Amino acid sequence: MTAPKPRAAHPAAPTRMRPWRFVVWFGTVSLLADFVYEGARSITGPLLASLGASALVVGVVTGAGEAAALGLRLVSGPLADRTRRFWGLTIAGYTLTVISVPLLGTVGVLWAACALVVAERVGKAVRSPAKDTLLSHATAATGRGRGFAVHEAMDQVGALIGPLVVAGMLALTGDDYGPALGVLAVPGVAVLGLLVWLRARVPDPEAYEREAAVSADEPAPEGRLPRAFWTYAAFTAATTAGFATFGLLSYHLVEHHLMTAAWVPVLYAAAMAVDALAALATGWLYDRVGARVLVALPVLAAAVPMLAFANTVTVAVLGSLVWGAAMGIQESTLRATVADLVPPRRRATAYGVFAGVVGAASLAGGALIGALYGVSITALIAVVVTVQALALVLLTVGGPARPRRAGVRPPR
C-alpha cells in the first residue's frame, strides 16, 4: 500500500461535532431503530399466523425479507456512491422501516402484513451501505475497530429492549398486536428526529476522514474494487458458510428437551449480551494488532457446533454463547475492515457487495449445515471445522494486513 498523504483536492471541512460524539449519536439512532424493528421481528411469525398464514407462508415471507435486506444492497451501495446522497438514502431507509412496523398491527389482512414485513427489510437494504459509509468516516478518527464496536454494542441494546417492550404490551393487552406494534412508533419518530438533527450538525462526515489523513490512498480503478477486498470477501464467505444459525441451535435445544421454548428468548438475549462484549473487545484489539484479531472468528465458529449440539444443557448453552461472541465479531470488526480496505469513493459499493457475499454464504451454509444435522452431527462438525480451516488459510495467506493507521490523529 502507498503511504497515506493529504488530498489537496478536498481540503478538510470543519465539523460541528467531535467524531466520538458522532459515533455515539449514530449508535443511539441504531439503538432506537433496533427497538422498532427487532421488536416487530420478535412476533412476526405469530402475527402472520393470526392472520391465517401457514408455516410455509411465514417461511417464504421472512426468507424473502432477509433476501431483500441483503441482496438489494448490491443496488443501493453503488447508488450511494454514484449520487453521494448518503444522508438521503440513510433517512429514506429508516423512514420506510419506522412507518412499516406500526402499520403491521393495524392492516388486518395477510397480504398487506406480508408486504409490510418485506418493506421493513427493504428499508434496511436502502440505508445500510450509506449508513455504514457515514459511520466509517467518523471511525477513521476514533479507531475503526472501536468505533464500529461501540456502534454494534449500542445496536444490541435496542435489540434487547424492543422484544421485551412488545412482550410486555402483549401481556397487558391480551395479545392485541395493534397496541404492541403501535407503541413502536414512539422510538420510530425519535429515530427520524435524531437523524435530521445529526445531518444538520454534520452535513459532511467525510471531513472526519480527511482530517484524520487516512483517505489519501490512490483510488481503485474505475468500476473496480481493490484486490485485497475480494480476498477478504472470500475469507468472509468461507467463515460464514461454515457458521450455524441460532435457529438451528434453538431447534436442537428444544427438540432434544434440553430447554423449553419459553427459555429460548432468554438464551438469545444472553447471546446478544455476549455479542456486544465481543464486539467491544475485538474492536479494541483490531485498532492495536490489525486484522490478525479476525483469526478468532473461524476458531469460534468451529467451536459452536462442537458445543451447541451436545446433549447436555450446560455445554449446549455455552455453545450458544460462543455463537453470540462470533456474531459480535461479524457485525462489527468485519465491517470495520471493509472501511480500511476500500477508498471512500467506492466504499458504499463495497458494503453492498460485501452484504451480497455474506447473504449468499449464509444461505448456502444454512442449507448445508441444516442438511448435515439431519444426517450426522459428527459429519456436521467435521465439515464445519474443515470450512473454518479453509477460512483461516485465506485470512493468513491473502487476508488484509494491519489497518492503515499511519497519519491518524489521536481520538478526540
94-150 pLDDT, tens digit per residue, is 999 999 999 998 988 999 999 998 999 999 999 999 999 999 999 988 888 899 989
Going by C-alpha positions, the residue among 135, 149, 39, 144 that lies closest to residue 87 is 135
Q: What is the pLDDT of residue 210?
A: 80
**Percent of the chain with pLDDT strictly greater than 70:** 88
Q: Give just the sign of the alpha carbon dihedral 142, 146, 151, 154.
A: negative
305 near 377, Cβ under 8 Å? yes
For the cut 50, the answer to whether the pLDDT of residue 410 exceeds it is no
For 45-89, the pLDDT digits (tens) are 778 888 888 767 776 787 678 778 888 999 999 999 999 999 999
Q: What is the pLDDT of residue 241?
A: 85
Sorting pLDDT into bands at 50, 70 and 90, what band is 333?
confident
For the cut 60, the answer to whether the pLDDT of residue 216 exceeds it is no
Q: What is the pLDDT averaged over residues 243-252?
A: 78
Sorting pLDDT into bands at 50, 70 and 90, what band is 33?
very high
Pairwise CA distance, residues 43 & 142, whole Å: 37
Q: What is the pLDDT of residue 223?
A: 56
Q: What is the pLDDT of residue 98?
A: 93
Pairwise CA distance, residues 103 & 177, whole Å: 10
Q: What is the pLDDT averaged over residues 353-372?
A: 83
Q: What is the mean pLDDT of the chain?
A: 84
Pairwise CA distance, residues 302 & 320, whole Å: 12
Pseudo-torsion of CA 198, 201, 204, 205, nearest 10°? -60
Q: What is the pLDDT averaged over residues 33-53?
A: 83
Considering the entire predicted model, what is its pTM? 0.80
Please list, residue by residue across 176-205, b when 16 or more beta carbons sit within 10 angstroms of its beta carbon and e when fewer do: ebeebbbbbbebbebbbebbeebbeebebb
Q: What is the pLDDT of residue 164?
A: 84
For the cut 50, the answer to whether the pLDDT of residue 316 exceeds it is yes
Q: What is the pLDDT averaged over residues 337-354?
A: 89
For the cut 80, the answer to whether the pLDDT of residue 36 exceeds it is yes
Neighbouring residues of 351: CB distance < 8 A, sequence distance ≥ 6 = 73, 77, 128, 129, 132, 133, 335, 338
Q: What is the pLDDT of residue 261?
A: 62
Q: What is the pLDDT of residue 369?
A: 82
Q: What is the pLDDT of residue 267?
A: 81
Pairwise CA distance, residues 99 & 181, whole Å: 11
Q: What is the pLDDT of residue 235?
A: 92
Pairwise CA distance, residues 147 & 24, whole Å: 9
Sorting pLDDT into bands at 50, 70 and 90, what band is 260?
confident
Q: Please state the length of the chain.
A: 412
CA separation, residue 112 to residues 41, 55, 105, 282 (Å): 16, 17, 11, 42
Sorting pLDDT into bands at 50, 70 and 90, what band is 13?
very low
Pairwise CA distance, residues 100 & 114, whole Å: 11
For the cut 80, the answer to whether the pLDDT of residue 265 exceeds it is no
For the cut 80, the answer to whether the pLDDT of residue 399 exceeds it is no
Sorting pLDDT into bands at 50, 70 and 90, what band is 358?
confident
Q: What is the pLDDT averaged over residues 382-396?
A: 91
Q: What is the pLDDT averaged over residues 303-309?
A: 92
For the cut 50, the answer to whether the pLDDT of residue 30 exceeds it is yes
